[in-house]
Structure 1
Amino acid sequence: MSIVYNELNWIWLILYICMASKTNKVSIVKPWTTGISGQLQKALVTGVPKLKRIDLEVACEDFSNVIGKSLIGTLYKGTLSSGVEIAVASVSLTLSKTWTKNLEAQFKNKIDTLSKVNHRNFVNLIGHCEEEEPFTRMLVFEYAPNGTLFEHLHVKEAEHLNWGPRLRIATGMAYCLQYMHGLDPPVALTNLSSSTVHLTDDHAAKISDLSFSRETDSSEKKPDGRKDIDIDMTQSTSPASNVYSFGVLLFEIVTGRIPYSLDNSSAENWAAHYLKWDKPMKEMVDATLASYQENQVEQVAELIKDCVDPDSEKRPRMNEVSERLREITKMSSEFVVPKLSPLWWAELEISSA
């Protein structure tokens, strides 16, 4: 009798769970219920779906929340009703009349390429928008709220970066590039500079890649003040060219100097001069740094010279670069990604001491 009673109890329990689950499906509150469609919810779950302009318009406050310029047009900040922040890169409306089939193909290729990249030190793509009335071509990314590396190194009003955070940023970039170059096929950045490296609240690096057009006016300046010196990206975009650009960035991080002229920008000329310099790197370290480790500076200087070797065949691969930086900084790949715990500050002090 007790056995039958127990079986009945189990049956009633299963029925109760089933009924409760059906009830819950009706009563669940979705994260986007105010002015945002369910498509944006899918953006964080299913990759890079096609989103509606009206949804992005609501998130970006009628596209009034302009936060800067990118190589493809205007950059907006958006906030979903859940509180999640996004960055929306929009192709300029003025391009609608000159938007060619080639540009459309490059736009779609950029979406396809970025959809394959998923790294915590990368500004990951979470959606895109394509509409004809009005003309709309937008890429929707994660939002890194702490500005660009360029601003922190060269704008006096921006927060100063000490030696430890600078090494952490450089190492995070290296791990991210190693991951991208290791994809099949490898993904190389079309534009790697301090203005395309964004920072999170805890100063972790987030590399962005918003450029895709080869049909760029050479007189137009980049967001950091440089003119576009690389019009034909097919000739220069490769893992080896990324290693070169990374070497230039390392020099910028250590010295605090802009490694090119704002009037006649040429990173190639800078590298040629640097290889001939006899001046030790420790004499060129950013004067605003209160402290740093001389042995680390010397090791980074050797790495820079290897990265900017004029012969691309002699440059190290990115996995070698990240391994050498790991040995110099003692920072693992987990240490350099954005942190949720505030304890990382103490860990950073210990690591760089």
Structure 2
Amino acid sequence: MEIQSPNSILHHLPHLSSSKSQNSSLFPEETAEVFDPSKDHLLIQSDATWNRRSLAERPPLPGKGSAAGASPPSPPQAFADSTKSPPPPETQTLAGEDGTPSPPPSSVRTAQTPNPPSVPPPPPPLPRTKKTLNLSMIVGIVVGVFTVSVALIIFFLIHTRKIPIKPWTSNVPRLQLSELQAACEDFSNIIGSFSDGPIYKGTLSTGAEIAVVSIASGSRANWSTSMETQLLHKIRELSKVDHKNFLNVIGYCHENEPFHRMLVFEYAPNGSLSEHLHSQHAEHLDWPTRLRIFMGIAYCLEHMHNLNPPILHTNLDSSCIYLTEDNAAKVSDFSVLDFISPSKESSSSKNLLEHSMLDPQTNVLNFGALVFEIITGRLPDPDSLFFERKPARDLVDPTLETFQEDVAERLLEVVRQCMNPYSVQRPKMRKVVVKLREITGIEADAALPRLSPRWWTEMEIIATYGD
């Protein structure tokens, strides 16, 4: 390929060729240039000025001295300089009217020590408007008024006895023997007994009714250390049940001179379930009342079994079920006190309160027998239940004027399951409750006593007699 000379290129460009012919006297042909040398001089001078400025602002390398005695810029300054864009080209090549280059602007830094840029002060906080201040004051006033109102309402309800107070679960107050003696009319008001111990009814000076169980009296010599340990354990255990269908312990008496050991329980005024089922002189219980009674027992036993560790009833039968004013069930546990009575031989070596010796399925068996007794009015006969299988109408208590035969039939089927001879085949108490609730439709709240002075009896004992 033939390489063309500059003259041949200029020949094809008329305007450049004419410019060349006009200036041929000034520039030789072999050194002809298109651009003016004076303009090249301006560009070179401008580039040198920019290079000096960049060199002056560039931080020195590590271990080297600063250029032209300039100190290294501070971090904010270095960051600001690194992000600064170079000046526009027109500000670097401006010339005066006579064609001479203008001097570099005064703002261009030289090799002198740069001045650190001033750090702008932080923006002032936004002023709080009058509306914001008023809103904060209103919120504070509302919160304060609400807190005070809630405190006053709680105080008022407690002192007017509109809400229950949770009883103690770890500490049971101690009462003096003289106080119980006065409450129980010199221990003459006997309402029941167990083995060797009587049960008294008492009325405290505040009007609260109590039941007092005398466990031991007489000589300290007949009371062993093991009996004392078991009694204290039983007090703590009973206080943990905390269920409204349970006859809760609300105090105790511990006297050495004269020697006495007593437990104080809440009082159930309508006597025992056994009396109502088997005595002609007791109030007759109709069908709905009987359903509500054994549902209250079921809910209480389920609660006791669900505690950690579980608390199991030692001997469940109709004689340890007491009734409130509205005939709600109150499960008591007095029978264990028989085994720590001083008159029992070798009782000091017994520890019948150990959980390992109690079987939850035994509670289920006894509960099934108790339901059968409530429905039929008599103790269960295993042969009649499992082999003869009589219809419900032939088993229901004949003193009942009305009853639901289909409900009775389903209840007796649950009884058979609970009284299965094989313990492992009996249902858990939780499943028994589910089945009975489906049959009767009685929820836990409906089985609770509607009128129970227990909470206020406890509070009065604490305030008046407690240590």
Structure 2 residue matching 1:321: 3-state secondary structure: helix
- Superposed CA deviations along residues 28-68 of structure 1, whole A, max 9, x for unmatched, are x9xxxxxxxxxxxx996685122211111121111111111
Counterparts of 1:284 and 1:211 in 2: how far apart (Å)? 29
Query: Is residue 375 of structure 2 the alignment partner of residue 254 of structure 1?
Result: yes
- Superposed CA deviations along residues 104-150 of structure 1, whole A, max 9, x for unmatched, are 22211111110101111000110111111111111100000001100
2:177 aligned partner: 53
Query: Is residue 228 of structure 2 the alignment partner of residue 107 of structure 1?
Result: no
1:332 aligned partner: 443
Query: Is residue 365 of structure 2 the alignment partner of residue 244 of structure 1?
Result: yes
**Partner of residue 125 from structure 1, selected from 246, 249, 256:** 249
1:144 aligned partner: 268
**Partner of residue 317 from structure 2, selected from 193, 196, 211:** 193
Answer yes or no: is the 8 Å Cα contact 2:336–2:352 preserved in 1. no
1:74 aligned partner: 198
Q: Unpaired runs of 5+ in structure 1? A: 1-28, 30-41, 221-230, 260-269, 342-353
Q: Unpaired runs of 5+ in structure 2? A: 1-158, 160-164, 345-350, 453-467
Alpha carbons of structure 1 residues 167 and 232: separation in structure 2 relative to 1, 3 Å: same
Question: What's the C-alpha RMSD, in Å, of the aligned pairs?
Answer: 3.0
- Superposed CA deviations along residues 184-226 of structure 1, whole A, max 9, x for unmatched, are 0000011211000000010000000013257479x99xxxxxx
Answer yes or no: is the 8 Å Cα contact 2:209–2:267 preserved in 1. yes
Counterparts of 1:121 and 1:155 in 2: how far apart (Å)? 23
Answer yes or no: is the 8 Å Cα contact 1:282–1:294 preserved in 2. yes
**Partner of residue 211 from structure 2, selected from 62, 78, 87:** 87
Answer yes or no: is the 8 Å Cα contact 2:217–2:260 preserved in 1. yes
Query: Is residue 398 of structure 2 the alignment partner of residue 287 of structure 1?
Result: yes
Counterparts of 1:95 and 1:206 in 2: how far apart (Å)? 33
Alpha carbons of structure 1 residues 79 and 44: separation in structure 2 relative to 1, 3 Å: farther
Counterparts of 2:378 and 2:243 in 1: how far apart (Å)? 28
Q: Which amino acid aligns with 2:379?
A: I
Give the CA deviation at 1:80: 1.2
Q: Which amino acid aligns with 1:245?
A: N
Alpha carbons of structure 1 residues 248 and 195: separation in structure 2 relative to 1, 3 Å: same
Counterparts of 2:403 and 2:166 in 1: how far apart (Å)? 42
Counterparts of 2:265 and 2:358 in 1: how far apart (Å)? 22
Alpha carbons of structure 1 residues 232 and 81: separation in structure 2 relative to 1, 3 Å: closer
**Partner of residue 275 from structure 1, selected from 386, 392, 395:** 386
Answer yes or no: is the 8 Å Cα contact 1:72–1:212 preserved in 2. no
Answer yes or no: is the 8 Å Cα contact 1:214–1:232 preserved in 2. no
Counterparts of 1:130 and 1:45 in 2: how far apart (Å)? 19
How many aligned residue pairs are there? 284
Answer yes or no: is the 8 Å Cα contact 2:176–2:253 preserved in 1. yes
Q: Which amino acid aligns with 1:242?
A: N
Give the CA deviation at 1:102: 2.4
Structure 2 residue matching 1:335: 3-state secondary structure: helix
Give the CA deviation at 1:97: 4.2
- Superposed CA deviations along residues 131-181 of structure 1, whole A, max 9, x for unmatched, are 111111111000000011000000000000011000000000000100011
Answer yes or no: is the 8 Å Cα contact 1:188–1:238 preserved in 2. yes
Alpha carbons of structure 1 residues 98 and 213: separation in structure 2 relative to 1, 3 Å: same
Answer yes or no: is the 8 Å Cα contact 1:149–1:198 preserved in 2. yes
Counterparts of 1:316 and 1:256 in 2: how far apart (Å)? 24
Q: Which amino acid aligns with 2:378?
A: R
Answer yes or no: is the 8 Å Cα contact 1:214–1:233 preserved in 2. no
What percent of counterpart residues are identical?
48
- Superposed CA deviations along residues 303-345 of structure 1, whole A, max 9, x for unmatched, are 101111111111111111111111111111000111149xxxx
Task: Look at both structures and tell me which one has the larger radius of gyration over its CA atoms.
Answer: 2
**Partner of residue 155 from structure 1, selected from 265, 279, 283:** 279
Answer yes or no: is the 8 Å Cα contact 2:215–2:337 preserved in 1. no
Structure 2 residue matching 1:89: 3-state secondary structure: strand
Structure 2 residue matching 1:202: 3-state secondary structure: coil
Structure 2 residue matching 1:251: 3-state secondary structure: helix
Alpha carbons of structure 1 residues 337 and 241: separation in structure 2 relative to 1, 3 Å: same
Q: TM-score, normalised by structure 2?
A: 0.56
